[in-house]
Amino acid sequence: MSQDISIEGDLVTRVEGHGEVLVNATNGELEECEWQVVESPRFFESMVVGRSWDETHHIVSRICAICSATHTMTALKAIEDGLNIDVSRQDRKLRKLVLAGETIQSHVLHLGYLALPDLAGKKSVIPMADTHEEEVKTVIRLHELGNDMLRTFEGRASHGQRTIPGGFTQIPDESELKEIETALENSWDDVEAVVDLILSLAEQLPDFTRETEFISLTHPDEYALYDGVPYSSDTGELDLDNYEDIVNEHVVEQSTAKFTKHNRKSYMVGALARVNNNYDQLSPKAKEVAESFGLEPVCHQPFMNNVAQLVETAHLIENSLDLIDELLEAGLEEQSDYHKPDVDVTAGRGIGATEAPRGILFHDYTFDEDGIAERGNCVIPTNQNHANIQHDMEKMVPTMIDQPQDQIQHTLEMLVRAYDPCISCSTHYLDIEFVENENEGE
């Protein structure tokens, strides 16, 4: 039945930040369909200019409370690249454990608190405390596991202070490593419970496919989150030094955030992109989870990003156990508390990339001879997904144009949530040129 549709003005709920869905149709004919981003820029790139090289990572960690460790780590990689600072093998493993902890807590937060209510037919996770009490407690335990890892390796669950250029101010001792190891080993029952729960509700995931390009880090020897080079499912390995030619940021009228494109009119980053590009490097248990959902590369169903997050959670628990085993077997190299590596400050430009929970993240800083930042640029994962969400909506809406308006709106909001957007990570500043008025003073 042809109908008139008018969806606009309502912020999408259960996402980080502010975005709206706009759909207008008359007599079943689609007239407008837009993913609109209304979040205000927060000018973090401007805040680092004029500040010292050893302050930069602390400033940009405030971009996001959920991904604070990833922003810190990406900034550190850029600073260390620009100032030629080495990082020890031990510290690289400890940093990978930091990223694992943050990714576990972020994925579980999204799956359990933001996406699961859609599958269970609830408006939020709050009423699920009555109808799914044990399942909610399981999600909370896994979420806390990620936070415990961050407290152990970073000193805090958010905005940690221990990672610094060249290493750590403080590292955990062996007893703390063993405590986390035990917690990880004891988490498998909870992971399997969440897998069973999502599997039982998986038929609620909309069956929608649109071919797109996937971009992530990749590494020949490991599932890339910290180390690796950018990789496109369309064109292969990419040059990090030319990251601006990868993302091709551009302004669109419907968004306060920039959109991006690479080989096609849009691309996707995040858990599904990483699983598609790096499936062979997943751990055995992670592959078992993927196989139970029928997830195999190359998957072009954006709603399967939720499943990919669950696959990565299993992988990161298994990989973290391996990293801790390696550290304990080698024995921790001791260092004093409040450790500060010696750094010879020089002028330079550095670029860093890591995988945030929501996708590949780029930081780029230029420092003068005193180590004072002259320029900063941060390209966040969610901005790289905006164009893909837009094109998914453009293909999806005509296929359900005869459904009730409330159902269309709900399905489109589920689509947005599937990307786990962190819209409030907007960082860009405007480079404003003031033009002197020739008649001024007359």
Binding site for Fe cation, residues? 67, 425
Residue stretches of the annotated binding site: 45, 64, 67, 422, 425, 428
Q: Which of 379, 315, 312, 350 is nearest to 87 (CA)?
A: 350
Round to whole Å and give the CA distance between 316 and 106.
12
Residues composing the chain: 442
Round to whole Å and give the CA distance between 418 and 115.
7
Round to whole Å and give the CA distance between 56 and 59.
5
Residue stretches of the annotated binding site for Ni(2+): 64, 67, 422
Q: Per-residue DSSP letters for 331-381?
A: -PPP--TT---------EEEEEEEEETTEEEEEEEEE-TTSBEEEEEEE-H
Q: Which of 374, 331, 357, 369 is nearest to 425 (CA)?
A: 357
> Starting from the edge strand earliest in sequence, which strands make up the sheet with 267-268, in order?
236-237, 229-232, 213-218, 267-268
Residue type, 274: R
Ranges of beta strands (E only) in 68-123 are: none
Residue stretches of the annotated binding site for Mg(2+): 45, 428
Three-class SS state of 35? strand
Q: What are phi and psi of 31, to 5 degrees?
A: -110, -40
Whether the CB-CB separation of 422 and 385 falls below 8 Å is answered with no
**Burial of residue 357 (number of CB atoms within 10 Å: 0-12, 13-18, 19+):** buried
Three-class SS state of 389? helix
Q: CA gyration radius for the chain?
A: 22
Round to whole Å and give the CA distance between 47 and 265.
32
